[in-house]
Amino acid sequence: MFIGKIVSASSHIDYVCQVFAKGEAEVVPEPSDYGFGQFVAIEAADGSSLVGLVHNTSLLNPEFGNLGPRLSPHEDLAVFAPDYLSEQATLVAILVVGLLDAHLQARQGVPSIAAHPDARARALARAEIDAFHRAHGHLQMAYLPLLTGLQSALAPSLLEQTFALLSTLFPADSARINVLRANVAWRARILPTG
């Protein structure tokens, strides 16, 4: 299921995706489809997909702050000025952490190609998440430095959420994941609080 389209990028790996609203896609995505920490794929030109993680959400609402009287009630706007309503949008930031080619071969880390504007993004299926992380039969997270290097207060939560997801997908590797998870939790929860 597609969740939206790429509308902007602040870097080679940090994109902004506008979530499809009603009327923009056959099936309107549910909030859980583009939730924080969700693995997504961005369509690339060569049939491959850029794999990313939703790491932030922002809302676009031109009406915010416009507190003056209205000539038309809100219900009438849908009839007389529907384009005005569509200026409200949900934007999600996607951090690209690798690439899945057309044969589901994964390459983790910064991809050489970039997404183009309007490229569609979709939620990654569990099988694809598994394929993206499996190298020689075992879990691999070579993109982890990209997440830890994220200059954001949300970065530790993103890491913890990713670890939790991967622990369920790769139970055989849960001990290894737990080592990283415990370290992130200590640094994110205990040290700053003290």
Partner 1 sequence: MSELPIGTTKGPGETPQDYTFVTPDPEQRCKYGEFVYYDAAIDGQQRAILGRITQRLPLRLYPDTFMSDPAVPPQAVADLLAYPRDDSELYQITATILGYYDEGLGFVNPRVPPRPGAPIYIAPDALLGEVLCRATPGQRGAVHIGSLLSRPTDAVPIALDATGFTSTHLAIIASTGAGKSYLAGVILEELMQPHNRAAVLIIDPHAEYDTLSEMQNNPAFADGEYRAVVRVIRPQDIQVRVSSLDLGDLRYLLPNLSDKMHHELGQAYNRVRRKYGERWTRGQFRTTLLEGEAGRPVTDPNEEVDATIGALVWRFNSVMEHSAIFNDHTNIPLSDLFCPGQCTVLQLNEIPDREQQVVVATLMRRLFEARKDTERGRAKDDDENYLPYPAFVLIEEAHNFAPANAEIITTQVLKQILSEGRKFGVSIGLISQRPGKLDSDVLSQCMTQCIMRIVNPVDQARVAESVESVGRDLLLELPALSKGQVIVAGASVNTPLMVRVRQRLTPHGAENPDAPAEWAAWFDDARTRARQRGRALPPGFIETAPGRDDLLR
Binding flag, residue 186, partner 1 (CB under 8 A): yes
Minimum gap (Å) between residue 185 Cβ and partner 1: 6
The dihedral built from the CA positions of residue 39, 40, 44 and 47, taken in this order, carries a sign that is: positive
* First-residue to last-residue Cα distance in the chain: 43
* Residues found in the chain: 194
Instruction: Mark the segment that binds partner 1 (CB under 8 A) among 27-35, 93-101, 103-111, 184-192.
Output: 184-192
Binding flag, residue 190, partner 1 (CB under 8 A): yes
Nearer to partner 1 by Cβ, of 23 and 194: the residue is: 194
Give the x/- contact pattern for partner 1 in 139-178, rule: CB under 8 A. Answer: ---------------------------------------x
Angle CA(158)–CA(57)–CA(112) in degrees, nearest 5? 70
Nearer to partner 1 by Cβ, of 72 and 183: the residue is: 183
Residues that bind partner 1 (CB under 8 A): 178, 182, 185-186, 189-191, 193-194
